[in-house]
A and B are shown apart, each in its own frame.
Chain A
Amino acid sequence: MAEAAIALRPPLIEGNKSIAQVTHDVCAPMEARPTVLWWAALLVSFSLLVLGAVAIAYQVAVGVGTWGLNRTVGWAFDITNFVFWIGIGHAGTLISAILFLFRQRWRTSVNRAAEAMTIFAVMCAGIFPVIHTGRPWFAYWMFPYPNTRGSLWVNFRSPLVWDFFAISTYFTVSAMFWFVGLLPDLATIRDRATATWRRQLAGVLSLGWNGSYRAWQRYEVVYLMLAGLGTPLVISVHTIVSWDFATAVLPGWHATIFPPYFVAGAIFSGMAMVLTLMIIARRLMHLQQYITLRHIDRMCKLVITTSGIVGLAYGTEFFTALYSGSSYEQFVFLNRALGPLFWGYWTMVGCNVFVPQLLWFRRVRANVPAVFLICVLVNVGMWFERFIIIVTSLSRDFLPANWFHYAPTRVEVATLLGSFGLFFTLFLLFCRFVPVIAVAEVKGVLNIGKPGQEAAHE
């Protein structure tokens, strides 16, 4: 019986690994010298980071007048980038929390990196609202603390305040989830480290973890609790982000479909980003036997599922506009598809709805470069989705006399590139200093010492 089940379900990890081999395979690349490829990648992303830092310093010194915003279009590039990055982060929580609750054991190979991606993406996202305040040194005013302005409190009816609470909670919970998951692996690093600094650092960070089952039992409970809390949290975060738009009365924003539409879009873009990063990481860190073609295949299926949801939402928006009888709504959607930014709209539809259809084919899902290319295109498309939603609705609203175009300035483009620089710099550092694969979790999905596997251990 058991053998039949094994034949039907090939092992998640290839190469018939022993427990010690898993530790070695994941930890050894961190202990060896970084490769030339890694240095090259770090150099490129760090240069972008510096570019972004210079751009941010400039716009803080001079003011947000350096952006292409005007009286009509008061929100554009920065909010696009904010929503884009927050969305990227959501796939990490999907993999770490939602797939954990659904007992998808294949997640163990990718959850560590996906969670790291979440944390870095939220950091990137956080930059934009803070610089958009124009006076980032007063960013702490968003926090409701007793102040000398009469104790003038923040407005809890405002979606922007909801956003502040949602993002900061999301960041804190994601970071804790990641750290708790990391504890056993930090202990593993500590106990095998030869370099003193590594042993001492991992020793402090691992909090004295020794693998005692009394701790493991509670660890499992806490992990489950955090997954249970993270699941509604991730949905609430992007729901609240969508409310930033949906609570406004602007045609094209004022739609009840926004929360599910945004959440699906977020998971879509995030899953594409996870795949992009995984394809890079498995290559850089030689983890092809851990992040296998089956993992890529499953993530591709999630991409095509969410692509379908997003495509349905695009269609529903048009139907709602038609059915509403509101000429303003109808105009906004025709303007999106046929107006001055039509190329952006069709980039979005092309990359998000048409390109992912290729993933229906098993041959495409098994072709790693093709998957990589599709995922990059999906991210381009999802960036354009936010840009189109934000800019088309604002630039042509009710009164034609108010209409105006928007074009980003060099400073805005540099800031976007800088956020990519920050993201990839952090991710590359993560690849070097933290086990990219959740060692303790992967050991749990090996077929060693499981009932019906006696032959394997002899």
Chain B
Amino acid sequence: MSKRLLVGVFDNEDDTLAAIRVSRRQGFKVVDVYAPYAVHGIDEAMGLSPSRLPWLVFAVGLLGAILKVWFEFWTTAVDWPVNVGGKPFNSLPAFVPVTFEVMVLFAALGAVFSFFVVCRLFPGKRAVLPVAGVTDNRFAIVLEQTDSTFEAPAVRKLFEKLHAVHVEEQITGEVA
């Protein structure tokens, strides 16, 4: 399905933030915002809900720790107990360091790979930029022209008043 989009290009974070806030206040649908670096507050201005990744990282880390404690217990006390210096087979305190490392490993791998999956980032993916320069020095706000009440010339004027460097209309299959 093709979409009619309006892209406002800005050259600094302050103007971008202001334009996002104004667009949302006017009831426009902000499809996405593109930025060359992470700007504090854009996510809030866009109304993005907070990421749930921390919960996932916590769960995966916990899973790693539990699996590792079980594995260490099973190998040293159940499957093939070896007497090392007369220490108890189930020497839980000695299992702590490796358990900790494996917890961190699981949590970190979980964080990074779930990030790639959720953001659909993978090797060979073709990067689709709304306008050139958003990985260099340009900020872009992509609005969707949802219905006939969306008056592109008026929005263009509004963006220009907010110091937009450039405003363009795009008709595409998919951008985000």
Q: How far is the CB of A229 from chain B (nearest CB, A)?
A: 5
Is the Cβ of B109 less than 8 Å from the Cβ of A176?
A: yes
Q: A172 to B109, alpha carbons, bound, how many Å?
A: 9
Is the Cβ of A191 less than 8 Å from the Cβ of B48?
A: no
User: Which chain B residues lie closer than 8 Å to A217 at the CB level?
Assistant: 42-43, 48, 51
Minimal Cβ-Cβ distance residue in B for A155 = B84
Residues A213 and B32 in contact in the complex (CB < 8 Å), given A19-B136, A166-B101: yes
Is the Cβ of A19 less than 8 Å from the Cβ of B84?
A: no
Minimal Cβ-Cβ distance residue in A for B141 = A213
* Total A-B contacts with CB atoms under 8 angstroms apart: 214
Q: How far is the CB of A213 from chain B (nearest CB, A)?
A: 4
Is the Cβ of A203 less than 8 Å from the Cβ of B12?
A: no
Is the Cβ of B34 less than 8 Å from the Cβ of A169?
A: no
User: Which chain A residues lie closer than 8 Å to B108 at the CB level?
Assistant: 172-173, 176-177, 225-226, 229-230
Q: How far is the CB of B37 from chain A (nearest CB, A)?
A: 4
Interface residues of B (CB under 8 A from A): 11-16, 32-39, 42-43, 46, 48, 51, 53-54, 57, 61, 71-72, 75-76, 79-80, 82, 84, 87, 91, 94-95, 97-98, 100-102, 104-105, 107-109, 111-112, 115-116, 118-129, 132-137, 176
- Interface of A (DSSP majority class): helix
Is the Cβ of B76 less than 8 Å from the Cβ of A153?
A: yes
Cβ-defined partner of B127 (8 Å) among A206, A225, A232, A443: A206
Q: How far is the CB of A174 from chain B (nearest CB, A)?
A: 10
Give the interface size bracket for A toward B: 35 or more
Cβ-defined partner of B137 (8 Å) among A20, A150, A441: A20
In the complex, besides A155-B84, A214-B48, 10 extra interface pairs with C-beta distance below 8 angstroms are: A150-B80, A156-B94, A156-B95, A177-B108, A210-B128, A218-B115, A219-B119, A440-B37, A443-B36, A443-B37
User: Which chain B residues lie closer than 8 Å to A210 at the CB level?
Assistant: 34, 127-129, 134-135
Q: A226 to B72, alpha carbons, bound, how many Å?
A: 26
Q: How far is the CB of A379 from chain B (nearest CB, A)?
A: 27
User: Which chain B residues lie closer than 8 Å to A451 at the CB level?
Assistant: 14
Is the Cβ of B13 less than 8 Å from the Cβ of A225?
A: no
Minimal Cβ-Cβ distance residue in A for B74 = A153
Residues A444 and B37 in contact in the complex (CB < 8 Å), given A166-B101, A451-B14, A457-B12: yes
Q: A220 to B41, alpha carbons, bound, how many Å?
A: 12
User: Which chain B residues lie closer than 8 Å to A216 at the CB level?
Assistant: 35, 38, 42-43
**A187 at the B interface (CB under 8 A):** yes
Q: How far is the CB of A156 from chain B (nearest CB, A)?
A: 5
23 contacts between A and B (CB under 8 A): A18-B137, A155-B76, A157-B84, A161-B98, A165-B98, A165-B102, A176-B109, A184-B135, A191-B132, A207-B116, A208-B126, A210-B128, A211-B34, A212-B32, A214-B48, A215-B119, A217-B42, A219-B119, A221-B115, A225-B53, A225-B54, A449-B13, A457-B14
Q: A23 to B48, alpha carbons, bound, how many Å?
A: 28
Q: How far is the CB of B57 from chain A (nearest CB, A)?
A: 5
User: Which chain A residues lie closer than 8 Å to B33 at the CB level?
Assistant: 212-213
User: Which chain B residues lie closer than 8 Å to A449 at the CB level?
Assistant: 11-16
User: Which chain B residues lie closer than 8 Å to A165 at the CB level?
Assistant: 97-98, 101-102
Minimal Cβ-Cβ distance residue in B for A221 = B51
User: Which chain A residues lie closer than 8 Å to B94 at the CB level?
Assistant: 156-157
User: Which chain A residues lie closer than 8 Å to B104 at the CB level?
Assistant: 169, 173, 229, 232-233, 236
Is the Cβ of A188 less than 8 Å from the Cβ of B136?
A: yes
